Amino acid sequence: MTLTTSDTVRPPAVAGRFYSADPDRLRAETARLLDAVSVPDDEPLAPAYIVPHAGHRFSGAVAAEVYARLARHRDRVRRVVLVGPSHHHPLRGHAAAPYTAWETPLGLIETAPTGVVGSSLLPHAEEHSLEVQLPFLQVALGDGFAVTPVAVGMSQTPDTARVIGSLLAEAGEGTVLLCSTDLSHYHDLATAKRIDEGTAEAIRALRPREISTTHACGVFALRGTVAWADATGRRPRQLALGTSADVGGPSDRVVGYPAFAVERPRGL
């Protein structure tokens, strides 16, 4: 893989660790994950989805539930707003990425700038939570889309919901929101399933205050997404709820993975 050297292009930080650095292998593995998902022919494109961000080996099958749906509507998606946590840099509030493009082993993705929040390098430079979504997007959508990546740090839920609404209004038609989060970390399998089902119920029931900061690493983006859904008449529909143990990870140190479509109820 030859990387672009530029201050305005964000090179991949976790290729070779969270997903394959070999472009042919990465494309083939990602396509296989998407092909394994069955999407109903009449399922509409949702305005937002919740998706996990672990290594593709662990959470890829759960994430594919979202990306197979985007692939079904690839001609309609021209912008993707990505919101997720900053694992490595303490952050208060919200920070867009100061790049004109992001690079993966599959090539460059254009960044669509935003005037909704300011930008900052540090929350994005080494962050994996948004980067791991990009190869999925490239395989699902092909060319011709742009991303607006926004890191969400410690924040009040109504503020994040307003930021999300403003980002989507700014981007206009053909935009999909992706909220990146994993769920509970490093419990035994039974405990992890109990905790994650409680978090999933809070998401389904539109109760963001019941999502604990210790039960989702993207909690502030997730709470904001759920609050935005509530304010705009959307409802989260669970697509999948999995764990690292499902794919061979240790059963005494489990990480949980969610996939939801945040959609307007049919008939409305």
173-192 pLDDT tens trace: 999 999 999 999 999 999 99
Band (pLDDT 50/70/90 cuts) for residue 1 is very low
Check pLDDT > 60 for residue 81: yes
185, 245 Cβ separation under 8 angstroms: no
- Supply the pLDDT for residue 52: 98
Cα distance between residue 45 and residue 48, in whole Å: 9
77, 141 Cβ separation under 8 angstroms: yes
As a whole number, mean pLDDT of residues 224-242 equals 98
Distances (CA, A) of 60 to 124, 182, 235, 242: 21, 12, 24, 10
Per-residue pLDDT of 147-166, as tens digits, reads: 999 999 999 999 999 999 99
Domains of the chain: 42-263 (3.40.830.10)
- Amino acid 99 reads Y
Band (pLDDT 50/70/90 cuts) for residue 264 is confident
Check pLDDT > 70 for residue 250: yes
Q: What is the mean pLDDT of the chain?
A: 95
SS (H, E, C) 148-160: EEEEECECCHHHH
- Supply the pLDDT for residue 6: 61
Phi then psi for residue 94, to 5 deg, are -135, 140
Phi then psi for residue 224, to 5 deg, are -65, -40
Per-residue pLDDT of 29-77, as tens digits, reads: 999 999 999 999 999 999 999 999 999 999 999 999 999 999 999 999 9
Report the predicted TM-score, pTM, of the whole model to 2 decimal places. Answer: 0.95
Q: Which of 49, 108, 104, 54 is closest to 82 using CA atoms?
A: 49
Cα distance between residue 61 and residue 64, in whole Å: 5
The residue whose two tokens read 């709820």 is 241
56, 131 Cβ separation under 8 angstroms: no
Residue 140, sorted as left (phi over 0), alpha (psi -120 to 50) or beta, turns out to be: alpha
Residue percentage of the chain with pLDDT more than 70: 97
| Tokens representing residue 128 in the block | 């994996």
